[in-house]
Structure 1
Amino acid sequence: MRKTYCIIIFSLTFAGAFAQNVASINGKPVGSKEFMWVYKKNHSGVANAAFKELEDYLNLYLNFKLKVLDAIEMGFDKDTAYLTEIKNYEAALRTRKKISNTKATYSMVLNEYKNAVLMFNISELKVWDKAQNDEDQLRSFYERNKLFYKDGSFEELKGKIINDYQDVLEREWVVALRKKYPVKVYEAELRKLAKL
């Protein structure tokens, strides 16, 4: 009887732990609280959203987190310049009374900044620099997609070509990341957050 009781308690606790997550990446949970904090922050504090809007935003957020995970796997979080930047930001953040008074907000703001810097640094390496600095690849992309660039020559449309090539590189990167790191979305939990 005691063993059954312990299993039931464990099961309820275990289920409850996962019940508050909207997703997981590579087995690591993405909490509802974290997701809604980011959503509200990027939507002028408004949390009233339809399920489809939350689902679309969650996919963007998961892509962001995948890029951060990739940066960590590559050791970007150990880079001296990165560590110095984070240390300086944390010192500046402590001086802001509104944020430093609330431990949870302070932690979320600091974590968001750390992740944003990692995402920026790895995106620069894997997408932006490749599109802007590899002339051969850019010309090859242009040649393969000439039908879309009828309005001008490579030189005349170079800015648009770079932008389009960056989009392709990013999509390919995200597809590769989703294959490398399993992503699970807990739709039932996401539906609980929908207000419309």
Structure 2
Amino acid sequence: MTNNQPSNSLCLPTGAAFIAALVFFTLWLGFTLQSVVEVRVAGVDGADDKVCYFTEPDFQLRWIHSVEKQWWEEQYQRIDGSSTEGAELLLTTTYFEAFGAGTPSTEMLAPIQKPGYLGYQINEKLPRLNWVVSRLTKGEMDYGGHRFLIHQWVPDYSEVVIMPKTYDLIDRFKKDFCHELPSDGSR
């Protein structure tokens, strides 16, 4: 009669290899960095900052221009650098419905024009964006099929800082995706 139970000499190395692989995988996840775009609004005296992020490299900012009262759109790309500090944002194109004072007019026309808009190719690199939003201008962010109504998330005339960052696993657990937040600012 044969014994169908595995020998103890095989179980010990197999179990040790499984535990080592599990430890390696856990450490790998903990140290793996992910490029994101962080959206931060400073709270009073630096306390209670509102922070969210998204992982998509392309996004668009939209708002109603305060003078022309027409939509203005800017399209951006996150450019990952060779180091965690080397990332930038690239303003690729800008579109607007009305042409007025302060409107760029010396740049090349955007390769893709949108009906009802005039578009220019900008291609300007920026380390970060400082954007003041209010309910009157209806500021919003569009990325990866999501529309984040940032003007409903923050108090009027809040300065929103948008910058490329690199998050580790702990950062990703401690912060929220922007599109998962309620637009009224509640948590």
Task: Give the alignment's TM-score, normalised by structure 2.
Answer: 0.31
Q: Which of the pair is proportionally richer in strand? A: 2
Higher relative contact order (CA 8 A, sep 6+): 1
Larger Rg computed on CA atoms: 2
